A = this chain, B = another copy of it.
């Protein structure tokens, strides 16, 4: 049977993540990959989770195996709220939490509940590729705001908002931002810019989607507060995840925000997957209670700081004349801007032949720019692989 006539219009807007396709190419070869976005499995508390997994089934019994409410297991949502509050992410009286199947589902629900064709989404430039891919099937227009070492340039955002027509302004559905240890940019928004961003949201009546996978294991003693914490008027919908601070495989993410907004996300989720894994939610609940999440964050901080430092050193040695790069205080990525005007996308296949993989940075830019950039992951490869891989990459780009 030929299925072509059956595909919907939006199916055309779907495309496989280039990162995942790349990883497939690299499989089984002697390739050092900086292309992935995997946590270091060393951070996974395997023994603790093995104990927890059987404990929760023994303790909660059939409850841990039965259907759960769409918003999530009530006890888990309560525990999560207190934990977030301890972490400095403010939970207001009017707020509600919904558990999602990874925070990727949060992005998808945002797309469904908020976006129509021709609506406007404002993002950082570059921004998280899988967020773009979650928003794209709704066919919005994207506006990208440049970043520098202090995060999103909110002055540029202000200029753009000022210059927009009333009609276009009414089409802006949200500003999507990863303020802390941005992916892929590797930068963190200063407190001043955070405040400015919230002022602009207030002035122009805008919603902010704060995607925050990394702030809980920042390596440096920097001062910052979540936009969610600074927000006074329910203008921030906060997306979080246990993928990097416990295990990505359990697929536990969440959204925190005003209950009127979150309840629409809940309604959408009901038709999408009824609810996220009950078992995984109890695992995360127990891991919070036993301090396993806190322990994992400490471990992640230590391991990732060391790996980042190794990558920064290697870049200093091999990329000095080739480009500039970010010095992230957290997260899992360094972003490189090459001096030469080359297109890193076709070059990537040649780099693979030299035994090293990266993600061409252009995919992260909503406006087709960024051809001469690349994203490097430091969380997954070993320190030795980082040293050797950056050397290979430096030699590769020097020869171009």
Contacts and interface: CB of A to CB of B under 8 A. Distances in A.
A301 to B, nearest CB: 19
Interface in A266-293: 267-268, 270-280, 283
A41 B57 CA distance: 13
Interface string A48-59: 011101100110
A102 B234 contact: no
A250 to B, nearest CB: 5
Given A46-B61, A108-B272, A114 B6 contact: yes
Interface in A5-44: 5-11, 14-17, 20, 38-39, 41, 44
A67 B46 contact: no
Interface string A118-135: 010000000000100110
B51 A101 contact: no
A276 B251 contact: yes
A65 B44 contact: yes
A174 interface: yes
A1 to B, nearest CB: 5
Contacts of A46: 57-58, 61-62, 65
Contacts of A233: 1
A235 interface: yes
A205 interface: yes
A344 to B, nearest CB: 22
Contacts of A338: none
A267 B138 contact: no
A247 B66 CA distance: 6
Contacts of A20: 70, 270
Interface stretch (A180-188, A219-227, A256-264): A256-264
B67 A57 contact: no
B62 A54 contact: no
Of A14, A67, A249, A283, most buried by chain B (CB within 10 Å of CB) is: A249
A234 to B, nearest CB: 5
Given A66-B44, A104-B274, A271-B104, A53 B279 contact: yes
Given A65-B249, A66-B38, A8 B112 contact: yes
Contacts of A39: 66
Given A1-B234, A8-B138, A249-B64, A108 B271 contact: yes
Main secondary structure of the interface of A (DSSP, over half): helix
Contacts of A280: 277, 279-280
B174 A247 contact: no
Given A248-B67, A250-B279, A260-B3, A271 B134 contact: yes
Contacts of A54: 50-51, 53-54
A173 B248 CA distance: 35
B272 A105 contact: yes
A44 B61 CA distance: 9
Given A14-B264, A104-B271, A251-B277, 20 more contacts: A1-B207, A3-B207, A3-B260, A6-B114, A8-B116, A10-B116, A15-B267, A41-B62, A46-B58, A64-B249, A68-B249, A101-B101, A102-B274, A107-B271, A108-B273, A112-B137, A130-B274, A250-B279, A251-B275, A273-B273
6 contacts: A1-B207, A39-B66, A53-B279, A66-B249, A104-B273, A134-B271
Top 9 A-B residue pairs of the complex, sorted by shortest distance between their CB atoms: A249-B278, A41-B62, A53-B53, A54-B54, A65-B247, A50-B57, A101-B273, A133-B271, A65-B249
